[in-house]
Structure 1
Amino acid sequence: MNIKELMELVVKTADDKRAENIAVLDMEGISLVADYFVICHGNSEKQVQAIARELKDVALENDIQIRRMEGFDHARWVLIDLANIVVHVFHRDDRSYYNLEKLWGDANKIDVDAIITPQQNL
């Protein structure tokens, strides 16, 4: 699985758990930490944990190494490090405070709708 396919799998998995306002930032050439940041939020601690748990399970099912997972117990900002992709699962109340999209405003945004909406053959 290449990095783009992994990013798409992460987006679809978060969407399947009803993560809200999913954003993908292309960090290549901007950050040495990762090629993509995937940012989303849940509306409660339970939902944040469900999203993070599902991402972890899907990664393990696909033999994708999880370098680190932080913040799961508090469920306010869960960070999942998948090497070239860093996933940020926020609680709704904390996402706007940290505002990673603005902090990394020079990063190109990937069209998430194109990933989660199947293309119809005409």
Structure 2
Amino acid sequence: MNNSKKMTTLAIKALEDKKGNDIRVIDIQDVSIIADYFIIASGSNRNQVQTMADNVEEVLGRAGYEPRQLEGYGTATWILMDYNDIIVHIFSEEDRLFYDLERIWRDGKNVDIDQFGNIDSKAE
């Protein structure tokens, strides 16, 4: 499993563990050089959005991945976590509808999250 797929798998698991809503993965490798995958999820309130971000950071950190950039944590309406190969977007439900990244990045390929297998987040 390559790095970006491993990171995506870990991020999905971390989001699911905190009851992230409508988790989507967009493969943007063929349309942009900024990352391989966008992971998009939403939470129902500010605390859940922050908890989801905390869990992603913790799970990826245990696996040796540190974010290059983290934005929006304070307001928790849209938290962007840039890990170079993947970018995690965690939205409030209202902001996700407003910004509609799925539409903006429609040239990317929607990927079924079930394609990302389970791996032990403590491994490696």
TM score, norm. by length of structure 2: 0.89
Amino acid paired to 2:93:
R
Quote the offset at 1:114 in angstroms: 4.4
State the partner residue of 1:75.
Answer: 76
Quote the offset at 1:6 in angstroms: 1.3
Distance 2:10 2:61 in 1: 13
State the partner residue of 1:49.
Answer: 50
Quote the offset at 1:48 in angstroms: 0.2
In the TM superposition, what whole-angstrom CA distance separates every residue of 1:49-83 from its partner, at most 9, and x where no partner exists?
A: 00001111112111102101100010000000011
Kept after mapping to 2: 8 A contact 1:12/1:116: no
Percent identity of equivalent pairs:
35
Question: Which one scores higher on RCO, CA 8 angstroms, separation ≥ 6?
Answer: 2
Kept after mapping to 2: 8 A contact 1:66/1:80: yes
Distance 2:84 2:51 in 1: 21
In the TM superposition, what whole-angstrom CA distance separates every residue of 1:5-63 from its partner, at most 9, and x where no partner exists?
A: 11111111111110000000001021111000000000000000000011111121111
State the partner residue of 1:120.
Answer: none
Kept after mapping to 1: 8 A contact 2:49/2:90: yes
Secondary structure of 1:11's counterpart equals helix
Distance 1:114 1:42 in 2: 23
The answer to which of 107-116 and 36-45 deviates more is 107-116
Distance 1:92 1:82 in 2: 23
TM score, norm. by length of structure 1: 0.90
Moved over 2 A (4+): 113-117
Q: 1:114 to 1:35 in 2, by over 3 A?
A: closer
Secondary structure of 1:30's counterpart equals coil
Question: Over aligned residue pairs, what C-alpha RMSD do you find?
Answer: 1.5
State the partner residue of 2:101.
Answer: 100
Secondary structure of 1:31's counterpart equals coil
Distance 2:29 2:80 in 1: 19
Kept after mapping to 2: 8 A contact 1:26/1:36: yes
Distance 1:39 1:78 in 2: 10
